[in-house]
Amino acid sequence: MLARKHLFTPGPTNMPEEIRRACDRPLEDHRAPDFPALVEPLFKDLKKVFCTQTGEVLVFAGSGTLGWEAALTNTLSPGDKILTASYGHFSDLWIAMCRDFGFEVEVIEGVWGEGAPVDDYAAHLAADKNHEIKAILACHNETATGVTSDIGALRKAIDGTGHPALLMVDGVSSIASLEFRMDDWGVDVAVCGSQKGFMLPTGLAIVGVSQKALAAADGARCGRNFADFKSMLKSNQTGYFPYTPAVTLLHGLKESCRLLLEEGLENVHARHHRLGEGVRQAVNAWGLTTCAKERRWNSDTVTAIVVPEGADSGAVIKAAYENYHLSLGGGLSKVAGKVFRIGHMGAVDDIMMLSALAGVEMALADAGITVELGSGVAAAQAYYRETR
Ligand SMILES: Cc1ncc(COP(=O)(O)O)c(C=O)c1O
């Protein structure tokens, strides 16, 4: 029997054929004289995707987690004070990492299902008269709750207080899918990975770095080597890497940027919005709710769906995978068992989404959660037809 697996996790995402072919090549010499011909245009394209003209984009072999680590260790010194907020599994993991590195972390208790609490950030910054806070951390798209935060508003709030701290943003599940404006939002370090909006295999940490963050690196005393911004940038400026790069993935990344820029970033964002809205119409038709508490928090890359009281979202995920080879995202930490997640990120179209929604309906029914079969699919179909 044809054993096709259907990938609707919020990362890894589906890899387009063009990217798969770009990666499928003989290995090559990363010290060859023509290697810069691959790297130099790639960095130009990455800057376009991150919407930065003044910053740099660095690519490390690793994943988003390495990007978090690089952000902290390149710009801060042990004991430095960080302001951040807890509003989901990934914001919490970054907080835990900050503590592991011995930073002093001031945590605003946010709400799971809401975005970055901008007013609270502003109040903490305004109270920090001596500018002891050196970095402000925020997760742009909380993949665990399906919530997108307003980073532009956070920037305005920071500017309103005149606070000089660096702004570091987790854009792992937003960059290359949702609007992300590194320069306009004054983001000093923007962290991404290859396996989400870039539609590549896991294996790259892709990190946008402002000139302010690079200047901070000069005084930052945290230990670092592999993910050192300055040595990476120095080599990149000659068209090379300080050590063996993941060349195969760099070819894939080049193709990914080509696809994104050819479609146009605004169109990429609009496509994700449409796909996400169709999923939300389906959720509504099922009589279920999203973890995102208000419309303004809805993420266009992932929808976290709350199962009815007493039901187990794990049973939905298990039924989807075992019965239909459909991979969905599970509920993480605080929302384990309570939500399941549908990824609508990267190389996805209407028909793919409709098939995923049909699979979800069957899995819900198999898990004993009553939904009218076809109701969500019909709602999404109507929306996709209307907005074609
Ligand atoms: C928002 C967010 N941040 C960070 C990470 C961690 O990235 P990685 O798994 O690539 O290390 C993830 C992974 O899903 C994520 O969704």
pLDDT score at 212 = 98
CATH 3.40.640.10 for domain 17-262: yes
Distance 75 CA to ligand 1 centre (A): 20
Atom of ligand 1 nearest to the CA of 141: 1
186 SS3 class:
coil
CA dist 195 and 187 (Å) reads 22
Contact 88 CB / ligand 1 (< 6 Å): no
DSSP string of 295-314, one letter each residue: GGGB-SSEEEEEPPTT--HH
Q: Spell 70-106 as b/e; 16+ CB within 10 A means b.
A: bbbbbbbeeebbbbbbbbbbbbbbbbebbeebebebb
Q: Which of 9, 63, 172 to mutate to test the pocket of ligand 1 (most atoms within 8 A of CB)?
A: 172
89-100 and 64-75 helices, crossing angle to 10°: 40
Contact 65 CB / ligand 1 (< 6 Å): yes
Cα–Cα–Cα angle for 149, 342, 12, rounded to 5 degrees: 85
pLDDT score at 72 = 98
Contact 63 CB / ligand 1 (< 6 Å): yes
Cα–Cα–Cα angle for 9, 385, 387, rounded to 5 degrees: 85
Cα R_g (the chain), whole angstroms? 21
CA dist 171 and 180 (Å) reads 8
Contact 11 CB / ligand 1 (< 6 Å): yes
* pLDDT tens, the chain, 388 aa long: 567 899 999 999 999 999 999 999 999 999 999 999 999 999 999 999 999 999 999 999 999 999 999 999 999 999 999 999 999 999 999 999 999 999 999 999 999 999 999 999 999 999 999 999 999 999 999 999 999 999 999 999 999 999 999 999 999 999 999 999 999 999 999 999 999 999 999 999 999 999 999 999 999 999 999 999 999 999 999 999 999 999 999 999 999 999 999 999 999 999 999 999 999 999 999 999 999 999 999 999 999 999 999 999 999 999 999 999 999 999 999 999 999 999 999 999 999 999 999 999 999 999 999 999 999 999 999 999 999 9
What is the longest distance spanned by two Cα atoms in the chain?
67
> How far does the chain reach from its first CA to its final CA, in angstroms?
34
Closest of 208, 230, 206 to residue 220, by C-alpha: 230
Q: Which fold has domain 6-12+265-386?
A: Aspartate Aminotransferase, domain 1 (3.90.1150)
The single residue listed with the structure tokens 């072919």 is: 21
Per-residue pLDDT tens for 101-140? 999 999 999 999 999 999 999 999 999 999 999 999 999 9
Q: Which of 140, 143, 198, 328 to mutate to test the pocket of ligand 1 (most atoms within 8 A of CB)?
A: 143
Residue ranges per domain, the chain?
6-12+265-386, 17-262
In terms of phi and psi (left: phi > 0; alpha: psi -120 to 50; beta: otherwise), the region of 143 is: alpha
pLDDT score at 160 = 98
Three-class DSSP labels, 199-222 = CCCCEEEEEEECHHHHHHHHHCCC
pLDDT score at 3 = 73
Distance 65 CA to ligand 1 centre (A): 6
Distance 142 CA to ligand 1 centre (A): 9
350-366 and 375-386 helices, crossing angle to 10°: 160
pLDDT score at 2 = 64
Closest of 97, 344, 47, 89 to residue 206, by C-alpha: 47
Q: Spell 167-180 as b/e; 16+ CB within 10 A means b.
A: bbbbbbbbbbbbbb
